[in-house]
Amino acid sequence: MLGPRGERNLRRLIKIYDTTLRDGTQGEGVSFSMEDKVRLTSRLDALGIHYIEGGWPGSNPKDLRFFRRMQDVNLKHAKLAAFSMTRRAGGAAANDANMQALVEAGAPVATIVGKSWDFHVAAALDTTLDENLAMIEDTIAYLRPRMDEVIFDAEHFFDGFRANREYALATLRAAETAGAHWLVLCDTNGGTLPHELTAILREVTRHVKTPLGIHVHNDAECAVANSLAAVSEGVSQVQGTINGYGERCGNANLISIIPTLVLKMGLDCVPASKLKELRDASRFVSELANRKPWDAQPYVGDSAFAHKGGMHVSAVVKHPETYEHVDPGAVGNHRRVLVSELAGKSNILWKAREYGIDLDRDTPDSRRILDRLKQLEDEGFQFEGAEASFELLMERALGRYRAYFELDAYRVIVEEQSGDGGPVAEATVRVRVKGMLEHTAAAGNGPVNALDHALRKALEEFYPNLKEMRLLDYKVRILDESKGTAAKTRVLITSGDAQETWGTVGVADNIIEASWLALVDSVEYKLRADERRRASA
């Protein structure tokens, strides 16, 4: 099958451009710390994403710090992109503060958003149509020799094309003349329908020769469909976010787009071997965003391959393709049978494979791990984003776990004092370390911080390398909102040292106990990791 530009679909490479770290964070309730962004970038790179947009270095200090930090991170596959807007009206790109911040960020790719809708030029920029064209051309021409690639995002392109066809095309030609490597057509308001989008794309391809990309929002529930329709019309770059996070109704969901491109459209995209990581990647991003995963999310949701009806179950057991459009294992998911004895067995087998445990041999070791895993997941534990806790779980189940310290007791007091100061938190910890009882107390900025300080105070004399460890992030999720303040709580802690970053999890009825469990796992993982490093040195 040939596309409109003569490419053979079977061999076409579609470049995936992820903007979760910028556009995704504009979604309500979505926020990432700088350390989250570093972890996410490494995870997306490992998935095989081609471009990762890290943020807007000229807009806020956190994004600027992120790009500086990323200068020391070696990406194996992805190109890091920095986002900005065209230079200001009436100025010059060479003197524009946004341009300077973009170049200083050190990212090899610059993505520039510019207005392509005449209404926005007048109403938002308050400038002339000719000046907007000059802003686009001047900005890209300035960046072209200073960056490896320059991408032009034509904001509101489809609305602009419907309102003033010639001007919308003129914005693309201005970017093309200045040397843009990509022209990305944006459905910023998310209201374009697939048949409208394809008709406009066919017209655009008659007027520009630069490779095209697509960036669509989901306000009419058409973001994925529009992205796929654009690819069918010859577009070679697809922009979107993991899980569809984004402003208002979100962006095009890359977790749906990627497997559709590879498995259904026969196109090259991320490496086929990486498709099996899609579910884990989706959950990883959900955990760091502190968002509950969408059970019915296509391809990767818990319900995506869940079968309940008796007729369906009978058919699926014989021939899975009767009620499954793809092999769930191809995207790292698993089949679930919700009713019948077979459901339990099926769940166990697929969960084992998900965590790399071969249950076919039915060894006592693997059975112990699975029994413990099932028990913990019933209690509310989830190990996506908490890799360190899962490693410790396996070690405990296999009998290879060695405790570096044992808890005797801990106590936390939060005291409201008179005066202008806030509440004061103090923690007392008694632990046995190498046969000695250590009893310490410490204050902190809240009960968890106080516990952390008290535990470190007890352990650092015996394990001085704990001074290198930092708690980078702390997230809390209520697992059953209907129980109010009596609800069970899950705590996810991100920690790191000079060598790596890791996540741990704790679940309990008491938020302090859940925090303690995650904190202890974090400390023990650090001590184990240091021991392994010394052994391999």
Task: Answer yes or no: is pLDDT of 300 > 50.
Answer: yes
Give domain status of residue 509, yes or no. Answer: yes
Report the pLDDT value the prediction gives residue 200, as an integer from 0 to 100.
98
CATH of the domain at 196: 3.20.20.70
Number of Cβ within 10 Å of residue 148's Cβ equals: 10
Mean pLDDT calculated for residue range 26-50: 94
- Give me 525's structure tokens: 């993982």
104 with 236, same domain?
yes
Q: Point out which residues pair with 473 in neighbouring strands.
A: 494
172 with 54, same domain?
yes
Report the pLDDT value the prediction gives residue 406, as an integer from 0 to 100.
93
36 with 139, same domain?
yes
448 with 499, same domain?
no
> Over the Cα atoms of the chain, what is R_g?
26
Give domain status of residue 345, yes or no. Answer: no
Give domain status of residue 2, yes or no. Answer: no
180 with 258, same domain?
yes
Report the pLDDT value the prediction gives residue 3, as an integer from 0 to 100.
44
pLDDT band of residue 306 (cuts 50, 70, 90) is confident
Report the pLDDT value the prediction gives residue 350, as an integer from 0 to 100.
47
Q: Cβ distance 439 to 428 under 8 Å? A: yes
Read off φ and ψ for residue 4, nearest 5 degrees: -65, -20
DSSP 335: -
Task: Answer yes or no: is pLDDT of 315 > 90.
Answer: no
Mean pLDDT calculated for residue range 97-112: 95
24 with 59, same domain?
yes
417 with 501, same domain?
no
Q: Which of 462, 491, 506 is the last residue of a domain?
A: 462
Environment class of 421 (CB within 10 Å of its CB; exposed 0-12, middle 13-18, buried 19+): exposed
From CA 48, how far away is CA 330, in angstroms rounded? 16
Read off φ and ψ for residue 335, nearest 5 degrees: -75, 140
- Give me 242's structure tokens: 């993991």
pLDDT band of residue 61 (cuts 50, 70, 90) is confident
- Give me 98's structure tokens: 């946004």
Q: With pLDDT > 70 as the criterion, what percentage of the chain qualifies?
A: 87
Higher pLDDT, 366 or 299: 299
Give domain status of residue 96, yes or no. Answer: yes
417 with 532, same domain?
no
pLDDT band of residue 361 (cuts 50, 70, 90) is low
Mean pLDDT calculated for residue range 47-71: 92
Q: Which secondary structure element, helix H or strand E, spans residue 428, and what is its range?
A: strand 424-433
Q: Which domain holds residue 439?
A: 405-462
Q: Which of 430, 462, 494 is the last residue of a domain?
A: 462
Q: Which of 246, 274, 289 is the last residue of a domain?
A: 289
CATH of the domain at 432: 3.30.160
477 with 416, same domain?
no
Q: What is the pLDDT of residues 434-486, one digit of tens each?
A: 989 999 999 988 888 999 999 999 999 999 999 999 988 888 988 876 565 55
Q: Enumerate residues 6+ apart whose C-beta is below 8 A from 333.
A: 278, 279, 299, 300, 301, 304, 305
Do the strands 109-115 and 79-85 form a parallel or antiparallel pair, or are they unpaired? Answer: parallel
Q: 3-state DSSP helix/strand/coil percent for the chain, to nearest 5? A: 45, 20, 35
CATH of the domain at 387: 3.30.160.340
Mean pLDDT calculated for residue range 323-339: 79
Give domain status of residue 328, yes or no. Answer: no
The residue among 16, 243, 23, 219 whose CA lies nearest residue 113 is: 23
Q: Which residues of 140-270 form beta strands (DSSP E)?
A: 149-155, 182-187, 212-216, 237-240
Higher pLDDT, 8 or 155: 155
Give domain status of residue 338, yes or no. Answer: no
Environment class of 259 (CB within 10 Å of its CB; exposed 0-12, middle 13-18, buried 19+): buried
Report the pLDDT value the prediction gives residue 340, as an integer from 0 to 100.
36
Q: What is the pLDDT of residues 497-509, one digit of tens each?
A: 988 889 899 999 8
The count of domains in the chain is: 3
Give domain status of residue 330, yes or no. Answer: no
pLDDT band of residue 54 (cuts 50, 70, 90) is very high
173 with 125, same domain?
yes
Mean pLDDT calculated for residue range 254-265: 97
pLDDT band of residue 257 (cuts 50, 70, 90) is very high
Which sign does the torsion angle of CA 259, 263, 266, 271 carry?
Answer: positive
Number of Cβ within 10 Å of residue 197's Cβ equals: 24
383 with 409, same domain?
no
From CA 18, how far away is CA 69, in angstroms rounded? 19
Give domain status of residue 130, yes or no. Answer: yes
- Give me 303's structure tokens: 């319900």
Angle value at C-alpha 398, between 397 and 403, nearest 5 degrees: 75
Q: What's the predicted TM-score (pTM) here? A: 0.69
DSSP 383: -
174 with 153, same domain?
yes
DSSP secondary structure letters along 113-128: EEE--HHHIIIII-S-
